Every structure is written in C-alpha cells, then in structure tokens.
A and B are shown apart, each in its own frame.
Chain A
C-alpha cells in the first residue's frame, strides 16, 4: 500500500462547478497535510495546509481533514480553466526528520 494515495485522474469538471480532490494516507501518526498545485512543466506551489480535523477555507479553496478515516480532501469552488493542473497531496510523518510524503497527484481539467 502506498503511503499517500490519490486518484490519478484526469478529473474533468465544467467551468463554475466544484472540483473535489481526494487523498488517503496510511500513517495514523501523520500530523500535517498539504495540497500543492503543479502546472505542466512547472514546480509545485503550496496552496493549502491543514493540521486539525475539520474544514479550512481560503478563498475558493477548502481543505477537509478526517484523521479517523485518514482522509484529506481539497474542494475548489467556481472552478476556472486556470485551475487546470495536477494537485499533489503531501503528508508530513512525525518520525525521523519529519519528511513530506507526496502522492502521485490528480490531474484536474476544467473545461469552458
């Protein structure tokens, strides 16, 4: 079992819709969770971080964390074509040097 799993997609949504991206992780001791956006040919860019159960909102983005289910999600409201990118879920494990474990990413395509 991979430590951080994401559906590779592509997830295709119409402009203006809500895009829902999901991520599960295997280490129950994980404390910090991150969503990075990566445009094709570019480097990852941090868009959201979440550390406690529940929802965290930032503009059109909402991160949701459920530690009991080992599940973290990212909702993008009013999706725009400029949101088309690969979204990487990353989890920080508490052991060792607190490394980030990345999922393989979900490709999102927002069509007009």
Chain B
C-alpha cells in the first residue's frame, strides 16, 4: 500500500515549456487535490476533484489544468511554464470514514524550478 505517489520528484523547465505532474493513490479515495507550497505562503489549493469525472478550481488555478483520469489518478498540467510557477507541488487524497471526519493524505511532492 503505497498511499499517494507523485512523479517526477524534481523537474527543471525553461519558460514556455509544458509538463504534466502525475499523482496516483491506492487508498480508493474519492477526493483528490493539487496544492502548491511557497516559502511563507503555506499550502494553496490549485484544483481539486471531489469524485471521478469532476474537477473544480481552487484558490490559485491560473496557468494550470487538471485531469481526473480515473479514481486513482489525478494529473496537473502546466501548458506554458512561467518562473512564478516555481514551487513545490503536493497531491493529496481524502476519505470520509463512516461516522468520522475527512482526512487528507499527502504525496511526497514534486519540486519544480522554472528558469
């Protein structure tokens, strides 16, 4: 049981290049999330998916697109990378256990540098 996995771990892009960050979870969770973390800013939600087939914008969606490929996988795409997108990107998934409260579990992160 790997939990939440992300690829790649590190990436360097030039301005204008595109790339896709991959995320997968094996916990059968319905909800998945993409966050970015910048120094002094905490975690900010980019996009989320409440269930397979649905996606919605979070706090900072500009410059990103997402795809919920199936229940396990949720990818984040940068179509034309900008230096302002240099950040650490975390994917998370969550469940609401019977009679309980939602808990989010985070992947190991992708460190992205845009030159």
- Interface, chain A (partner B; CB < 8 A): 4, 8, 32, 42-46, 49, 51, 88, 90, 92, 97-100, 102-105
Contact = CB atoms under 8 A, between A and B. Distances in A.
A51 B44 CA distance: 22
A104 B43 CA distance: 7
Contact of B40 (A43, A46, A98, A104): A104
A100 B45 contact: yes
Contacts of B109: 42-43
Select the residue from A4, A42, A99 with max chain B CB neighbours within 10 A. A99
Contacts, number: 44
B58 A32 contact: no
Interface of B: 40-45, 48, 50, 56, 58-59, 90, 101-109
The 9 closest A-B pairs by CB, nearest first: A43-B106, A102-B42, A104-B42, A102-B43, A44-B106, A43-B109, A43-B108, A103-B42, A104-B40
Contacts of B90: 43-44
Contacts of B43: 44, 88, 90, 100, 102
Nearest to A32: B101
Nearest to A2: B42
A77 to B, nearest CB: 24
